[in-house]
Amino acid sequence: MLEDVSFTLHRGESLCVIGPNGGGKSTLARLVLGLLEPVKGSITVLGKSPREARTSVGYVPQAMRFDPQFPISALDIVLMGRLDRIRFGRFSKQCREVAETALADVGLSGYGKRPFSALSGGERQRVMVARALACEPEVLLLDEPTANIDLTIEAQLIETLASLRHRMSILMITHDLDLVSSIGDSVLCVNHRVHRHSLPLSGETIKEIYSGRRRLEHDRRTRHQQGDHSACKHD
């Protein structure tokens, strides 16, 4: 459950969402995507409700479930980002050009005809980023983009995301502190409440965020610093 959540993602900003498991990071993503409705308060995405803004948000999940025997190509996956533009049961030439450009943007030019099942884990993840880019988003939302890939492929993905960060706003859920330092402008710590931190994070702050014993201390101290004294024990 999330409570007392308030933050703004500015246009062109890269905001990394970190915090312990069970703290509400996935819930926050679902709220932004319009898959959940807040019990209290309101959310606006690009000045609209999350449902209305959904076509302007490119979403990259942790992994894609698929049947490896199903004959689908990398380009077919990317074209899924254009489904709202399909006409008469087929994609236009422009849709295919946008999809090819998206593959080139993630370093996979020429991979369009390759079977998705034949790609490596890192290549599949970059195809998923290309699918999100194919909808020509203003906001790119990524959920643990490096969770299922090895370190060599992770470096390539970080390079890809770094090249995109100034073209659109990025909201990224991650535990990867290397990714945070490479891509992020600031950090949103989510643990039922949210706190925003500038980069770089100190070692002490990182310990507080991920230590079960010190999370309450971190919450109180950060809220105090940000002007919320409701959890303080002032005399």
pLDDT 10s per residue in the chain (235 long)? 788 888 999 888 999 998 888 889 999 999 999 999 998 889 999 999 999 999 899 999 887 777 778 889 999 999 999 998 888 788 999 999 999 999 998 889 999 999 999 998 888 888 999 999 999 999 999 998 887 667 777 777 788 888 888 889 999 998 888 888 888 888 998 888 888 888 877 777 766 666 554 445 555 555 555 555 454 555 4
Q: What CATH number has the domain bearing residue 185?
A: 3.40.50.300
Domain count of the fold of the chain: 1
pLDDT of residue 115: 94
Q: Is residue 7 part of a domain?
A: no
pLDDT of residue 114: 96
Q: Is residue 4 part of a domain?
A: no
Distance CA(23)–CA(103), nearest Å, equals 34
Q: Which two tokens stand for residue 135?
A: 């909808």
Q: Is residue 176 part of a domain?
A: yes
Q: How many CA atoms lie within 13 A of 4 on its CB side?
A: 10
Q: Is residue 170 part of a domain?
A: yes
Q: Is residue 225 part of a domain?
A: no
Q: Which two tokens stand for residue 77?
A: 């996956």
Q: Is residue 207 part of a domain?
A: no
Q: Is residue 41 part of a domain?
A: yes
* Residue 81 belongs to domain spanning: 14-201
pTM: 0.81
Q: Is residue 226 part of a domain?
A: no
Among 174, 175, 180, 216, CA closest to 197:
180
